Amino acid sequence: MEATVVDVAQTASGFSFIELFLRSDWVVKVVMAVLAFMSVWSWAIAIDKGLQMRGLHSKAKSFEREFWSGQSLDKLAEQYAKNAKEPFSRTFAAGLREWKGNKPGGRVAKAAGAEAGREMANSESGLGILATISSSAPFIGLFGTVWGIMNSFLAIGATGSTELSVIAPGISEALFATALGLLAAIPAVVFFNALSANLNKYGSRLDGFVDELAALADREKG
C-alpha cells in the first residue's frame, strides 16, 4: 500500500503542462499543438478585429457629424467621395455617382446599398475563422482525449496492472487535450458573439445612412 502511494505521489509530482506534453504520444502532441495554435490565432483575430471595429465606429461618427453639418454637397464630395478610405465614404461615393447622374432616389439607394453590402462583407473577414475554431476545437480535443484513454488501456494490457502509476499518464494526456480544446473554443465563441454584435450594430448604422442618403436625393430632385 505504501509503495502504491509513493508511486502515485511521484507520478503526480511530474504532471506539469510541459511534462504532460513531453510524455504524450505523438498523435496527442499534434492535437495539443494544433489546439494551442488555434487558441493563439483566435486571440490574434479578436484583437485585430476589435481594433478595426473601434476605428470604423470612430470614423463613422466623424463622417456623420460632417455630413449633417450643413456643408454643400460639392464640399462633402471633395472631402470624402474623392478620397474614400472607409465604408461610409465609399458608400457615399457610390450613391453620389447616381445622384449626380440625376437618377431617382431608388437608384441612389440601390448603388449605395450594394456598396454597403460589399463593405460589410469585407468587414466580416476573420469571423468565419472564429466560428470554425469555436465549433471544431472541442472535437479536436475530444479526439486527443479518446487517443489518450486508448493509450491507458494499452498500457493496462501490456503490463497487466491497473495501478494509477500505469494508467495516470494516458488519462492525464486525455484530460489535458480536453482542457486545451475548451481553452481554444470558449474564447473563440465569446469573441465571435461580441464581434458579430458589434458588426451588426455598425451594419445597421450604415444601412440607416443609405436610407437617409436616398431620402435626401428624393427631396433634392423633388
DSSP string, 34-101: HHHHHHHHHHHHHHHHHHHHHHHHHHHHHHHHHHTTT--HHHHHHHTGGG--SHHHHHHHHHHHHHHT
pLDDT digits (tens, 9 = 90+) for 160-192: 666 666 666 667 777 888 889 999 999 999 999
Band (pLDDT 50/70/90 cuts) for residue 8 is very low
Q: Residue with C-alpha cell 510524455?
A: 23
Mean pLDDT value across residues 57-83: 79
User: Quick count: other Cβ atoms within 10 Å of Cβ 182?
Assistant: 14
Q: State how far Cα 50 lies from the chain centre.
A: 10
- Apex CA 187: angle with CA 185 and CA 21, to 5°? 55
Q: Compute, in degrees rounded to 10, the torsion defined by CA atoms 6, 7, 10, 12.
A: -110
Half-sphere exposure in the Cβ direction for 184 (13 Å, CA): 30
pLDDT at 2 over 60: no
Mean pLDDT value across residues 196-212: 92
pLDDT at 12 over 50: no
C-beta separation of 219 from 74 below 8 A: no
Separation of alpha carbons 91 and 114, rounded Å: 8
C-beta separation of 167 from 152 below 8 A: yes
pTM of the model: 0.78
pLDDT digits (tens, 9 = 90+) for 76-110: 777 776 677 788 888 888 888 777 666 555 687 88
Q: Which residues contact 174 (CB under 8 A, 6 or more apart)?
A: 144, 145, 146, 147, 148, 149, 152
* Dihedral sign from CA coordinates of 193, 47, 61, 76: negative
Low-confidence winner among 7-21, 37-51, 176-190, 192-206 (lowest mean pLDDT): 7-21
Separation of alpha carbons 41 and 76, rounded Å: 40
Q: Helix 164-221 vs helix 127-159: angle between axes, to the nearest 10 degrees?
A: 170
Amino acid 221: pLDDT: 59
More confident residue, 20 or 51: 51
C-beta separation of 31 from 146 below 8 A: no
More confident residue, 130 or 71: 130
Q: Where exactly are the structural domains of the chain?
A: 16-221
